[in-house]
A and B are shown apart, each in its own frame.
Chain A
Amino acid sequence: MNKLIAMVRKELIDAARDKRSVMAGLYYAIGTPLIMCGMFMVLINQLTSPEDLNITINKAENAPDLVRYLSRKGINQADLTAKPDTDVKAITLTITEDYAANMAKAKPAEVIILADNSDEKLQKSIRRLQQELQTYSAEMGSLRLIARGINPQVMQSLKVDMQDQSTPDSKGGMILGIAIFTMIYSVFISAMNLAIDTSAGERERNSLALMLSHPISTRQLVLGKVIAVTLFALLGLMLILLISKIAYTFVPWQELGFSINISTDFMKLMFVIGIPVALLASTLQLFVSFMAKSFKEAQSYLTMVLFVPIALSMAASYNIAPDMLQWIPVSGQQQALMDFIKGKEIPMLQLAVSSIMTIVISLGLMFGMEKMLKSEKVVFGL
């Protein structure tokens, strides 16, 4: 036991010595939430329609009531002569010449919206204009019925009540999926540098053989490395959780109609669920690095191998995954976390199965490493 503790200490001291590569591993955990939040802030501003939507209205004098109605709803006729620096959206509403004549005869009065519907920045504003025009049209239709002695309710043959089962948290499910994905990914990324350094790196520095010549078993050596790398992975996870908790509150999610809240409960759960994942991350990366002949080779292999957990996590976050993914390591945990944050019941069985599978795979990999390190080929990278 003492030997094991000594091993872990040695690995951690080793890791801490190379501050630059340690930090490089943790930059991801610190940077990702910040970058994501910055990106969302910009996106939200771009995608929401401004409170005062200024558009060009041609022939406004043909429909003064409509123009006043729109301005009440915040859709204004741009007045460039009075305020030349107003932000005018590229939407033109033209009221036709025979608007009033058609209206008086209860024929549909025509208005034309001229805009580029493929412009994502405009889409919300265009939809808003269309909606207000429809509301106006409907209101006028109701009033026409009233003027004819008919209750406008006759037009509402169905009353459709939508009873949405989503919670405020689940509405942000997509974004939360991405957030959880970045967290799981950070477990892998934070561990990567150390995993390579402590295996392939140690071998290149010729200290691996030296280590093995000491009176310790390969099992102790492997365990020491695994524990050190796992601790590092968990450190990365903790960092990204803390930073996400703070950073996400600064994004004006409410403008999208939901909120993203990294609760303390979620952080605890994520951390506990993250422990087997971190174990998998460290054993997998150590195993691959030991397999590789050199440091560089290890790096290339790892980038490829990492694609598997990333793909699993990504698939689960988009809700398009087949149910089978619930039982598989990484994606099982990801789905359980998403269910938790959406306020649903956590699928305990699936979570247990995927977590146990994660641990079993990790143990297998550890066992494999123990075997590998008995071979000279691996120890000397022959």
Chain B
Amino acid sequence: MSLAAHGHCLRGIVGRELLRFVHQRSRFVAALVRPLVWLFVFAAGFRMALGVAMTEPYQTYILYEVYIVPGLVGMIQLFNGMQSSLSMVYDREMGSMRVLLVSPFPRWYLLLCKLLAGTLVSILQVYVFLAIAYLYGVQAPAMGYVLMLPALIVTGFLVGALGMLLSSLVRQLENFAGIMNFVIFPMFFLSSALYPLWRLREGSELVHWIAVLNPFTHAVEMIRFAMYVRFNVEATLIVLATTMVLLALAILAYNPAKGMMARKGGPGGGD
């Protein structure tokens, strides 16, 4: 298969995802409203209680709304990654997934294209959110917004691959909501998105260790450091390694011969 054909396929999948995103205005608004409510309401309420946190990569004391922004960026990507996987379950139920998977391209390539498409949509949402946060007064160095981009791509793939793996385990759309609740909320709350790790440790040693083991914590820290023109090597390596593993598992799960789809009798499952 030629490179041009691969490009054509990529354009098709990304184009479809972007088109779907643009057409679903309510989805876009919902994706923005969620973190903005956290920023304007939740962070304002906690301003006094947590207003003097000083933690890396910040060089001085910051207001809570400054601290929470990278976590909310992660939240946007987490919800988007899950939503995109939700759409895969929907596609599977509706049969459009079958159309995609019968194309002559290797399955791993199709899944990667799908992940990239979802990631791009989430990055679009993130930058609109950051622009509003900037006007609200949460301003990072200009270079930080550029350096965030690779971190956002990696995080997009991380949560996308996780969602994809989960979608392969779910047979019906109805079941997916439950998994979302059991995955999204623990991942978000048991991370450094809302509170620094040292603050979690003050509350509970167990919660602190769960947060340390949570890959989403490292994704948020990678974004946070990049936003302030710093590079968190440890967080980046952990996120990259986790993404690779989840990606491999997702591709395996969608493998018609060996994956979960085969056992479930899903598309390409050969039933």
A and B: real partners? no
